[in-house]
Amino acid sequence: MNLFEKRLGPFYDPWEAASEAVRRRVMRRRLADYAAWARRLPFYRDRLAGFDPKAEHPLLKVPVLASDDLRDLVPPKSERLLTAKKGGCTVFQSGGTTGSPKSALFASGEIDGLDLPNARGFFAVGLTPKDRVANLWAAGSLYMTFIHVNRMLQDYGCVNFPLSNHAAPEFTHMVARLFKTNCVTGITSVALNALRGMERLGLEGIRIEKLYYGGEHIYEADKAEIRRRFGTEIIAAPGYGTIDSWYIGYQCQLTPTGVFHCHDDQCWLEIADEATGRPCAPGETGMAFATAFPRRLTPIVRYRVGDRAQWVGKPCPCGRTTPLFRLLGRGDDVLRIGFDSVAYDYVQDCVAEVGGLSGSVQMRKERFQGRDRLIVAVETAAPKTELSRLKKALEKRILAQRPTLAKAVRTGEVLPVRVELRKPGALPRNPRTGKLIRAVDAL
């Protein structure tokens, strides 16, 4: 039986329809088991002293595990987080684009365990055995995602094309034409680049019905463009998580952009105010912290995911009972321009409102003679005759809803906002992952 045929109940697996009482009992038991497992390490023995399995928020008094702490606990620096010093494992790298890689160690059974959240997520966003999927996830250089997505796709019952992020646009285009791939999955910027590349090479005989992205947010401007150009029917994220935190969430076909169901049998997700440590009520924004039940080789308790999020507090119309959260992106994509703090999401909203521009946007800060300048670079395929109008419209739009910034520009404390329009694919990307570099602070 393939993974598609193994599904049980109205959704992929019975957990997605479990009642509140079952969900609470199972999750608490898993958390207690996991804490007991982690306690075998001296590192967690002290940290878990404050674990209170009966409390409403059992981990509230347990210290947070920051990304930089983690680097010092695992090889090559140390083995303090390893529950087994012998036996095989696979070494992946997580984050960190400069310097020595931060490693993440997975025992082989742990990699197999990604089948469930992968199959659950891809099923929820409409993957069927009829689909022919171009897998453009990042491969090589100790990267993880391609490996487990490939594993799941080959066992799902669909037709799998392991192209990776290294495939040239011409090759992806040829495969789409000859083999009729109807579905693309990959890191958002890589998948969008591949689609835009296909369009440049001609769309005759090509129809991309489904785009399954991840690793980065997708913006409404991008979604609108892809729907319009390709007639794409489903654009959704089958999974959200980090290599350290495991899978945290997945979308269904009814979740709006940025909203996810929580894989709450896989991880204990907390959303808390970082300044006070107080857990957030639905609708309140806080930092996401994850405790990753399947990570047994290197237990991960209260890991600071690095993304801001909020609980939605309402059930999803799809009927799944896995709770919804809204992802608000990384807290660090903000530039301080004069006295104003400009968030990347704000700039993206302005780009979508202007229209005719893609969602590939980079914002930069420059300092000239002691004054700040915000520069917004946007990729667009608009004709030359349109560029001057689009540039002015976006400059105006950015200032329109920011009175502090607009005033600072008027008085000369801050230099005027500059919009630069670039050809598709011209903005700088991380050479390893293909992710767009979203915000660049002044040196």
Residues that bind Zn ion (CB under 5 A): 252, 254, 316, 318, 320
**Minimum gap (Å) between residue 47 Cβ and Zn ion:** 35
**Minimum gap (Å) between residue 4 Cβ and Zn ion:** 19
Classified as helix, coil or strand, 237 is: coil
Give the H/E segment covering residue 145: helix 145-156
Beta strands 210-214 and 183-187: pairing type? Answer: parallel
Of residues 277 and 315, the one with the C-beta less far from Zn ion: 315
**Minimum gap (Å) between residue 291 Cβ and Zn ion:** 23
Q: HSE of 110 in the Cβ direction (CA atoms, 13 Å)?
A: 23
**Minimum gap (Å) between residue 124 Cβ and Zn ion:** 7
The tokens of 328 are what? 């608000």
The tokens of 51 are what? 């674990």
**Minimum gap (Å) between residue 213 Cβ and Zn ion:** 17
Cα 146 to Cα 29, 48, 153, distances in angstroms = 32, 34, 10
CA 92 – CA 112 distance, rounded (Å): 15
Of residues 125 and 134, the one with the C-beta less far from Zn ion: 125
Of residues 263 and 320, the one with the C-beta less far from Zn ion: 320
**Minimum gap (Å) between residue 325 Cβ and Zn ion:** 12
**Minimum gap (Å) between residue 254 Cβ and Zn ion:** 5
Q: Which string of DSSP letters, residue by residue, matches 76-127?
A: TT--TT-S-SSS--EEEEES-SSSSPEEEEE-HHHHHTTHHHHHHHHHHTT-
User: For residue 146, which of 128, 125, 160, 131 has the smallest C-alpha distance?
Assistant: 160
* Angle, vertex CA 23, rays to CA 21 and CA 27, nearest 5: 125
Of residues 214 and 434, the one with the C-beta less far from Zn ion: 214
Of residues 114 and 252, the one with the C-beta less far from Zn ion: 252
Of residues 317 and 383, the one with the C-beta less far from Zn ion: 317
Of residues 66 and 254, the one with the C-beta less far from Zn ion: 254
Of residues 221 and 248, the one with the C-beta less far from Zn ion: 248
**Minimum gap (Å) between residue 198 Cβ and Zn ion:** 30
Of residues 320 and 397, the one with the C-beta less far from Zn ion: 320
> Are the C-beta atoms of 325 and 312 separated by less than 8 Å?
yes
**Minimum gap (Å) between residue 316 Cβ and Zn ion:** 3
> Are the C-beta atoms of 394 and 357 separated by less than 8 Å?
yes
The tokens of 65 are what? 């595990």
Residue 70: how many other CB atoms lie within 10 Å: 21
Of residues 7 and 418, the one with the C-beta less far from Zn ion: 7
Give the H/E segment covering residue 160: strand 159-162
CA 8 – CA 13 distance, rounded (Å): 5
Beta strands 371-379 and 102-106: pairing type? Answer: unpaired
CA 52 – CA 60 distance, rounded (Å): 8
**Minimum gap (Å) between residue 11 Cβ and Zn ion:** 9
Q: Is 335 left (phi over 0), alpha (psi -120 to 50) or beta?
A: beta
